[in-house]
Amino acid sequence: MIIYVVIFSILAVLLVASALFAIIQKDLLYAVIATGVISLILSVMFFILQAPDVALTEAAIGIALTTIVFVITIRNTTRNEDEKEINSK
Amino acid sequence: MEILKYIGIGLVLLGSIFLLLGAVGIYRMPDVYNRLQAGTKATTLGAMSLILGVGFMEPEWLVKTLILVIFIGIANPLSSHVLARSAYKNNQMPIIKNGIDAYKKINDSEKSEEN
Amino acid sequence: MELNYLYITVLVILSIAFIIGMLRFIKGPTASDRVVALDTISIIATASLVFMGYIFNRYIYLDVALIYGVLGFIGVIIIARYLEGAL
């Protein structure tokens, strides 16, 4: 049973790391890819906690739908987060 | 039935080692195309072998694991192909320059047809 | 008892592979590198979901891995088409 605790701790650290990556990064496409990684890790964590229905919903929504919606949004607006433009408004 | 279990154990160990090799290759390779080759070919073999090994260890699951293996065999080369094409069109050239670029003619003719 | 060692060995190997893939994801200089890392990580996660479903010994747990196998490459294809400029 100790192996699940170790794997769960590693996954939690990786989850926080990729969430920080998604916040800090200025290029918004990298943030979208990081969101996909977050949903993948979260789905494995739900699976270890023996909740397969939640993991299934998280996998289906997170990896396909969220990525498609965000990429279409980036296509219609801008890709780089420009600080000067935000400050001038 | 005992022999199937040992075959399954061998397949699972082989698959996990190939998955580890794919991950190491994705970290060590110098270039997008090299990383793509290590990260999709090795992991395709590893994932297929591991899932088939689980199917051998538990023979009632064999049908569903075969469906999963077929899906991975279709989807993984597809995404690899699309990624290599997008990296080429995004102007990321390989590090080693003295080779033959066979895709350049096709790409140029496609561009001229669009214009 | 011999199977317990098999579980621990395979789970440790898969965890190390997952961590190395995440290192490339955080380090990778361009967008294509990060998408390749995402693809590799999702394949490793699919394989480990199947193996953990075998350890928990529930047949219904294979459905999560099946969803990953079917839907996992759609996000990669969408991002790649955007990088190509064709979306």
A9-41: pLDDT as tens digits = 999 999 999 999 999 988 889 999 999 999 999
The CATH-assigned architecture of domain A2-88 is Orthogonal Bundle (1.10)
Residue B43 has pLDDT above 50, yes or no: yes
Chain C residues near residue B107 by CB distance under 8 angstroms: none
- Report the pLDDT averaged over residues B34-40: 88
* Domain range list for chain A: 2-88
Chains contacting A (3+ CB pairs below 8 angstroms): C
Contact A44 C67 (CB under 8 A): no
Contacts of A23 (CB under 8 A, 6+ apart): A31
Which residues are registered as beta bridge partners of A27? Answer: A80
Average of per-residue pLDDT values in chain A? 87
pTM for the full predicted model: 0.90
Average of per-residue pLDDT values in chain B? 87
User: What pLDDT, on the 0 to 100 scale, is given for residue A85?
Assistant: 62
Contact C78 A71 (CB under 8 A): yes
Contact B89 C14 (CB under 8 A): no
Which residues are registered as beta bridge partners of A80? Answer: A27
- Report the pLDDT averaged over residues C31-38: 90
Residue B50: closest CA among chain C residues belongs to which residue?
A: C47
User: What pLDDT, on the 0 to 100 scale, is given for residue C3?
Assistant: 57
What is the domain extent for residue C75? 2-84
Minimal CA–CA distance to C87: which of A71, A77, B92, A35?
Answer: A71
Extract the tokens encoding C78.
Answer: 């969408």
Residue A87 distance to chain C (closest CA, Å)? 27
Residue C2 has pLDDT above 60, yes or no: no
Residue to mutate among C3, C12, C26, C43, with most B CBs inside 10 A, is C43
Spatial separation of the C-alpha atoms in residues A58 and B57, rounded to whole Å: 29
Report in angstroms the alpha-carbon separations of A33 from B17, B53, B86, C39. 27, 31, 16, 10
A38-71: pLDDT as tens digits = 999 999 999 999 998 999 998 889 888 999 999 9
Q: Is C38 on the interface with B (CB under 8 A)?
A: no
User: What pLDDT, on the 0 to 100 scale, is given for residue B104?
Assistant: 79
Residue C19 has pLDDT above 90, yes or no: yes
Residue C4 has pLDDT above 70, yes or no: yes
Side chain identity, residue A63: I
DSSP letter at C80? H
Neighbour-count burial for C23-37, b at 16+ CB within 10 Å, e otherwise? ebbeebeebbbbbbb
Number of domains in chain C: 1
Contact C36 B26 (CB under 8 A): yes
Number of domains in chain B: 1
Average of per-residue pLDDT values in chain C? 87
Residue A87 has pLDDT above 90, yes or no: no
Contacts of C13 (CB under 8 A, 6+ apart): B16, B17, B19, B20
Q: Is C21 on the interface with A (CB under 8 A)?
A: no
User: What pLDDT, on the 0 to 100 scale, is given for residue B9?
Assistant: 92
Reported ipTM:
0.89
What is the domain extent for residue B6? 2-114
User: What pLDDT, on the 0 to 100 scale, is given for residue C1?
Assistant: 42
Contact C24 B24 (CB under 8 A): no
Contact A67 C19 (CB under 8 A): no
Residue to mutate among B6, B9, B11, B12, with most C CBs inside 10 A, is B12
Spatial separation of the C-alpha atoms in residues B32 and B90, rounded to whole Å: 12
Residue for token pair 């790391």:
A17
